[in-house]
């Protein structure tokens, strides 16, 4: 089963949940944790593993053979990302804007465009006992996370229980990371901001037709509106993690909840069982 762990906003404890769920499951079965929060991958901080392998991620960007080019401007016309411009007798390429779609090289009437790989980040791997770990890392200054996320997901092993740590928000990288999941766990907190961002994230997973449930972190602060929303929207609340100084201290020291407070293992095991039950019911919440 593929479970993505997402949140409408940053700082809700998404990685705490993803790592503790993966560690609790790894006691009993083979697990894979994919860190698809590629702009700021931090799940590895909480895991007892070392990165053992790294692969560059390249996207194809155009390279113009000026000897063949007639400066017709067709390539600039077809590029919807404005990554290529033709000015008089010069073709300018802006590699940071290029999405590597290949349209310009395919449609160049003179076959003057070839492609060369440009590195935009890396995929890194490691192992710890029953857990395989893959993370993507977008290079500093690079704007496009989805190609790195797609590359990370190529390593997904469907025979294992797979947990995907998704970047916060509701933008393209989130969609790329979540799609294909059997279930999406939405981590939030009971505050007005938490409620607002949860509602946006819930709308997104509904559009993707993925069943979802909620983990309320820092339960006990704020008000009841978040729980009311979940009840009204028929979104199951699968776990509550209280606002607790010990939990915050563990997090700040990079110690996973289920390691620092082993009594939480059972709660995360039960969370997984509840997710399985929701998925087996086949309901799109």
Applying CB under 6 A, the residues found at the interface with ligand SF4 are: 62, 64, 69-75, 78-79, 81, 83-84, 86, 91, 98-104, 108, 110, 112-113
Nearer to ligand SF4, 88 or 245 (CB): 88
CB of 101 to ligand SF4, least distance (A): 4
- Other Cβ atoms less than 10 A from the Cβ of 29: the count is 10
Nearer to ligand SF4, 72 or 200 (CB): 72
CB of 115 to ligand SF4, least distance (A): 7
CB of 142 to ligand SF4, least distance (A): 14
CB of 225 to ligand SF4, least distance (A): 44
88 φ/ψ angles, rounded to the nearest 5 degrees: 50, -120
Q: How would you classify the pairing of strands 2-6 and 183-188?
A: parallel
Q: What is the C-alpha separation between 23 and 216, in angstroms, rounded?
A: 19
CB of 61 to ligand SF4, least distance (A): 6
CB of 269 to ligand SF4, least distance (A): 46
Rounded to 10 deg, the angle between the 192-207 and 225-233 helix axes is 20
Nearer to ligand SF4, 64 or 120 (CB): 64
């Amino acid at each position: 089963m593929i479970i993505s762990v997402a949140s409408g906003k940053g700082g809700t404890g998404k990685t705490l949940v993803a790592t503790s769920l993966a560690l609790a499951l790894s006691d009993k079965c083979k697990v894979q944790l994919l860190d698809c929060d590629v702009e700021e991958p931090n799940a590895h901080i909480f895991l007892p593993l070392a990165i053992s392998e790294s692969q560059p991620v390249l996207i194809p960007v155009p390279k113009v053979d000026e000897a063949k080019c007639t400066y017709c401007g067709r390539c600039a016309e077809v590029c919807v990302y404005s990554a290529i411009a033709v000015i008089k007798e010069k073709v300018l390429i802006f590699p940071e804007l290029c999405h590597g779609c290949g349209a310009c090289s395919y449609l160049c009437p003179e076959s003057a465009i070839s492609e060369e790989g440009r590195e935009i980040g890396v995929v890194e791997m490691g192992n710890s006992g029953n857990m395989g770990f893959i993370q993507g890392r977008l290079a500093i200054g690079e704007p496009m996370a989805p190609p790195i996320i797609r590359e990370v997901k190529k390593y997904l092993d469907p025979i294992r229980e797979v947990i995907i740590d998704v970047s916060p928000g509701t933008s393209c990288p989130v969609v790329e990371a979540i799609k294909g999941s059997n279930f999406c766990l939405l981590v939030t907190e009971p505050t007005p901001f938490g409620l607002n961002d949860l509602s946006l994230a819930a709308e997104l997973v509904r559009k993707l037709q993925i069943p979802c449930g909620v983990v309320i972190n820092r339960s006990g602060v704020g008000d009841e509106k978040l729980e009311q929303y979940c009840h009204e929207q028929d979104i199951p609340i699968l776990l509550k993690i209280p606002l607790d100084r010990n939990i915050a201290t563990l997090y700040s020291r990079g110690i996973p909840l289920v390691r620092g407070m082993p009594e939480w293992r059972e709660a995360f095991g039960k969370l997984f069982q509840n997710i399985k039950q929701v998925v087996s019911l086949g309901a799109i919440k």
